[in-house]
Structure 1
Amino acid sequence: MNWLTSLPAVVLVVGGLLLAFLVAALARIGVRALVPAGEQDRVPQIVTPLMPTLGAAFAIFAALTLASESGYLRAAEGLVSDEAAAASRLAWAATSPRVHSESIHMALRDYLQTTRVREWKGAAAASGDDAATAHAIARLERTVRAEAARTEVGTPAGTELVASLDGVTNGRRARIAAASRAVPVLYVVTLVASGLALIVNAGALVFRSSLRTSLLIAGVASVVGLSLALLFALSAPWSGPFIVSGHPLDAVIGDLRTGFFGGGS
């Protein structure tokens, strides 16, 4: 499924429409070729009552799936915002009295920049095993914990530093866990099968009509093809066409660069 959800949006849309139109054409031709001439009069009597049922089934499956995937995309954006908020709290915690804020800000900025470049999309987003990102977060851990352990800093400031650092690492782990999530294959198969069944039924309904009249089923085929394309586009926020925006983290990086937190370099 990963190779499919990682395709560009244009490829998904064009591919979905071509598949839908191809199935419609094959259904029309197939009924003529496979159904004996003596039984062809019964085809409309059989397929006509099935159209509302198949249409309703596909509509329900599509609505539930697209609503679920849209919610997942919003949740992924929320995780990024939470991670940025945790990074901002750590940056402010580093400005406490007697804390060497510059070293913490530099380590935090390096981590955020590295994770945006190396761990934001593709396989690295779901695996969390990028060496450069691991090195950057290890450096951040050592820097913050070393500052928190200094007696001059004091217990309240040290506790705030460690708690803020935990928020950053927990946010990263939540993002990696979310990026590794995939749409269940059986779920996708059921939706695709219901859509194709609807197209086949529509194609069989007009198998005796002229070519121009048969083009009326293009609307059904278009809806099915576009729905499937939208499903695959939404189901991979870290590897598909709609990559989750990293703007919240970029904003924190920009604040660290400009010294907004009172100790940037």
Structure 2
Amino acid sequence: MNWLTSLPAVVLVVGGLLLALLVAAAARIGVRMLVPLGERDRVPQIATPLMPTLGAAFAIFAALSLASEAGYLRAAEGLVSDEAAAASRLAWAATSPRVQSEPIHAALLDYLQTTRAREWVGQAAESGDDSATAGAIARMERSVRAEAARPEVGSAAGTELLSSLDGVTSSRRARVAAASRDVPSLYVVTLVVSGLALIVNSGALVFRSSLRTSLLIVGVASVVGLSLALLFALSAPWGGPFIVSGHPLNAVIGDLKTGFFAGQ
């Protein structure tokens, strides 16, 4: 489903509406063509009782799906905030007495800038195997570990440096793992089928009506189409229309550039 969730919001909205409206029109025409003339009186008798059930089923599926994806988007934003907080702790740990902060701050700044530029969206965000980011992480690891191993630094400051470094790398791993998540296909199929069934049933109710009267089902079709578009838009916070904001990391980058952590 990655190809679908990565589409722009405009494409998802227009595509969802067009699909829903085409299904509504096809349902109206299809009932006229497929149902024998002698059985057409039974169509409203069958379709009318089904409307509340189909409507409730779609509403429940849509509500659960959208709530789940919105919660996932908020969780993704929380992961970015956690990574920024870990980077800030490492930057402050590098200012401990007898610690040479410049190499650590330079390596941390390089890592944050690289991951924002190379590992934030798309395939690199999902796999976490960007070579430039891997190099930046390696340089940061070497800088921090070399400083923590110096005898004059002391065990307390060295432990704080290593713990802060572990926080940064662990937060990144959590972000990469979250970015690799995909919407379950059965999840999407169930919602799409329930929505299309509701539209088809609505089209069956107005197959004898005039074209103007049949436009009443446009409302139902629009709700279904927009709900599906919103679901797909929310489902890819690392490569879809609603990209997770990198502002928390950008703020740390700005503080490193201005010398905030060094007290300058």
Q: TM-score, normalised by structure 2?
A: 0.99
Task: Give the drift of 1:263.
Answer: 6.8
Partner of 1:152: helix, strand, or coil?
helix
In the other structure, the counterpart of 1:66 is 66
Task: Give the drift of 1:181.
Answer: 0.6
Task: Give the drift of 1:218.
Answer: 0.3
Q: Does 1:256 align with 2:256?
A: yes
Matching residue's letter, 2:36: P
Matching residue's letter, 1:174: A
Q: Deviations over 1:164-186 (max 9, x none)?
A: 00000000000000000111100
In the other structure, the counterpart of 2:147 is 147
Q: Does 1:182 align with 2:182?
A: yes
Q: Does 1:110 align with 2:110?
A: yes
Task: Give the drift of 1:226.
Answer: 0.2
In the other structure, the counterpart of 2:157 is 157
Matching residue's letter, 2:217: I
Unaligned runs of 5+ in 1: none
Counterparts of 1:1-265 in structure 2, within 5 Å, are: 1-262=1-262
Partner of 1:181: helix, strand, or coil?
coil
* CA contact 1:102–1:263 (8 Å) conserved in 2: no
Matching residue's letter, 1:163: S
Q: TM-score, normalised by structure 1?
A: 0.99
Question: Percent of counterpart pairs with the same letter?
Answer: 86
* CA contact 1:16–1:226 (8 Å) conserved in 2: yes
Q: Deviations over 1:127-156 (max 9, x none)?
A: 000000000001000000000000010000
Q: Deviations over 1:58-100 (max 9, x none)?
A: 0000000000000000000000000000000000000001111
2: CA distance between counterparts of 1:198 and 1:44?
A: 14
Matching residue's letter, 1:56: A
1: CA distance between counterparts of 2:91 and 2:3?
A: 38
1: CA distance between counterparts of 2:142 and 2:54?
A: 59
2: CA distance between counterparts of 1:185 and 1:3?
A: 13
Partner of 2:120: helix, strand, or coil?
coil
RMSD: 0.7
Matching residue's letter, 1:173: R
Structure 1 outlier segments of 4+, above 4 Å: none
* CA contact 1:118–1:130 (8 Å) conserved in 2: yes
Matching residue's letter, 1:18: L
Q: Deviations over 1:14-42 (max 9, x none)?
A: 00000000000000000000000010110
1: CA distance between counterparts of 2:221 and 2:177?
A: 36
